[in-house]
Amino acid sequence: MKIRTKVWLLVAISVAITSGAGLWLQRYTVRQKLTQHAQDAAKEIGTEVAQALAALEPDAEDRDLALVIGSYMKRHPNIQRLQLLVKRESPLRIVAPRDERLEITRLGPNYRLPERLPEYRYTRQDEGGESLSLEMPVKLKGPWRATLSLQWRLNAVETLVQLTEQTALILGIAQLIAMVVLALLIIDRVVVHRLETLAVAMRDVQGGDLDRRVPVDSKDEVGRLSQGFNRMLDQLSSADKEIRAFSQRLADEIEAATQDLSRKNLALAQLNRLLNDLRRENASKVRLATLGQLAAQLAHEIGTPLSSVSGHLQLAQLQRDLPPGLRERLDVATREIARIGRIVRDYLDSTRSLEPEKKSASLSRIVTEAVEVTRGVDAAGGDAIDVSLGPDPVDFVTDAGLLRQILINLLTNALDAVEPGGRVRVSASSENETVLLTVSDTGLGIAPDDLRRIFEPFYTTKGRGKGTGLGLAICRELTAALGGAISVESTPGKGSTFTLRLPRKGAPADSDVPRAAAATA
């Protein structure tokens, strides 16, 4: 139940009880006053009748007494009944009822009047209507005593009381309605409406509107409640702003910490990659060191016999009367002996230390010589090489021999990778302080798993017996010796591109690394 309904019921009940009590009190007061007025009128008439009777002579007859009583009955219509009891030698009772004959009755000798009567005695009767009875003594002349009984009609009193009650009831109902409506309007305006405004503001605040405020238009209890509510909202709004600001700062700090963590994770990932590269490089150097010991033993053990066999084969080829089939076999044997010697030299050269020469060189000439050497070694595939040279840098400083060996290895590997009809492209250019050389092919490309290990020593993708796995490792070592870097990009099925980046002014003084000779991987 809403507070407005409760207040209305409370006010209506309170006003109804108050009005009912006031109406009853008014009715009671009016009745009492009218009854008292009737008593006073009856007393006055009774006294007048008593005085008239007392004025009669002692020897007045019964008829004289009856005439006095009858005259007063006629003059006063409110008298309903008069009765006179007279004590003589023979007691007498005269009764004069309204609208009836007057009766005179001689009572028996045994009838006794009351010895003493109060001056006045009132009694109420309701037989035939509301009435008031008055008994009073009458002092007659002579030795006689009498008692006068007067019955006064109260119909007028009752009529006036009823009229008063009806009027009071109508006025009370009108007053009740007016008081209820007025009280409700005042209460609704002064209390309920302001409480509803406060309740609406509380619902708005509950919905998240902390800027909501209640207007304060008085200093009563509701006004103080509204002021307290507004102060509470001010505190809540201030706390909410502080919480939001703290949340924003926390979010910013978390975002900054997240970004910092991301940067550190990225740096850590880069460091891990560098560490893995260093580990692989260190493993490569360990393998090269081991290879050096093995190469020295191989060179010592098979170098001299291999030279002797090669010399005898060359002497045998000088004979003119050799059959063609035998000459072809001798050529094959000579080439294989040369290949064995080249492999031994590769192993030996990969373990030797060197200091790269720093001389002015022609980039275009180095590229041209490397292409010609490669074409001379592989005459069939040499025609697949395309050369693209930019302007030759005039102040290019490098070790021309090492750079030429790198290019020969890259071109040889590219020719091995392409199928018949494929192309190999070599290009050279300069950008500011850097010289760029690229060797690309249209071969099968390199798988992603192989691409990560392509520069490791003894790792080859050519198959068993087709390469030593040292060519690209030697290229990386020679490039590092020249102060540059080598990288590869490859797409399976579309080919590969190797890129050399060399400093235009030559390698720094502290970039000396173990030398690696050219090799055919």
- Give me the CATH number covering residue 375: 3.30.565.10
Angle subtended at Cα 136 by Cα 130 and Cα 137, rounded to the nearest 5 degrees: 160
Are 363 and 488 found together in one domain? Answer: yes
Instruction: Pick the closest to residue 502 from 371, 385, 370, 395 (CA basis).
Output: 395
Q: What is the mean pLDDT of residues 475-496?
A: 89
How far apart are the C-alpha atoms of 103 and 136, rounded to whole Å? 20
pLDDT of residue 221: 72
How far apart are the C-alpha atoms of 275 and 21, rounded to whole Å? 104
Residue 200 maps to a domain: no
Residue 479 maps to a domain: yes
Provide the domain limits for residue 503: 355-521
pLDDT of residue 289: 65
**Using one digit for the tens of pLDDT, what is the confidence trace for 7-39?**
767 777 887 788 788 778 877 887 778 778 877
Q: What letter would DSSP give residue 342? A: H
Are 137 and 269 found together in one domain? Answer: no
Domains held by the chain: number: 3
Are 112 and 222 found together in one domain? Answer: no
Are 108 and 88 found together in one domain? Answer: yes
Supply 294's token pair. 């093995």
Supply 263's token pair. 């940067």
Are 332 and 367 found together in one domain? Answer: no
Q: Is the pLDDT of residue 382 over 70?
A: no
**Using one digit for the tens of pLDDT, what is the confidence trace for 318-341?**
877 888 888 788 877 887 777 677
Are 327 and 370 found together in one domain? Answer: no
pLDDT of residue 309: 81
Q: What is the mean pLDDT of residues 297-320?
A: 74
Which residue, 318, 351, 384, sits at the end of a domain? 351
pLDDT of residue 516: 39
Identify the CATH number of the domain in which residue 12 sits.
3.30.450.20
Supply 199's token pair. 């309740």
Are 434 and 287 found together in one domain? Answer: no
Element (H, E) at 165: helix 155-187
Phi-psi region of 506 (alpha: psi -120 to 50; beta: other; left: phi over 0): left
Q: Which residues pair with 495 in a beta bridge?
A: 491
Distances in Å between the alpha carbon of 418 and those of 381, 450, 454? 9, 17, 17
Are 217 and 247 found together in one domain? Answer: yes
- For 109-229, strand residue ranges (E) read 121-125, 131-139, 145-153
Residue 45 maps to a domain: yes
Query: Phi and psi at residue 252, in whole multiples of 5°?
Result: -65, -45
Q: What is the mean pLDDT of residues 179-200?
A: 73
Spatial contact of 172 and 21, defined as CB atoms under 8 Å apart: no
211-220, 328-337, 402-411, 452-461, range with greatest mean pLDDT: 402-411
pTM of the model: 0.40
Give 382-433 as a DSSP string.
HTTEEEEE-PPPTT-EE-HHHHHHHHHHHHHHHHHHSPTT--EEEEEEEETT
Which residue, 313, 333, 351, sits at the end of a domain? 351
pLDDT of residue 439: 94
The whole-chain average pLDDT of the chain stands at 78
How far apart are the C-alpha atoms of 37 and 33, rounded to whole Å? 6
Residue 188 maps to a domain: no
Give first-to-last CA distance, the chain, whole Å: 97
Are 152 and 241 found together in one domain? Answer: no
Residue 380 maps to a domain: yes
pLDDT of residue 437: 92
Are 306 and 283 found together in one domain? Answer: yes
Are 487 and 372 found together in one domain? Answer: yes
Which residue, 351, 383, 413, sits at the end of a domain? 351
Are 310 and 387 found together in one domain? Answer: no
pLDDT of residue 519: 37
Residue 7 maps to a domain: yes
Residue 195 maps to a domain: no
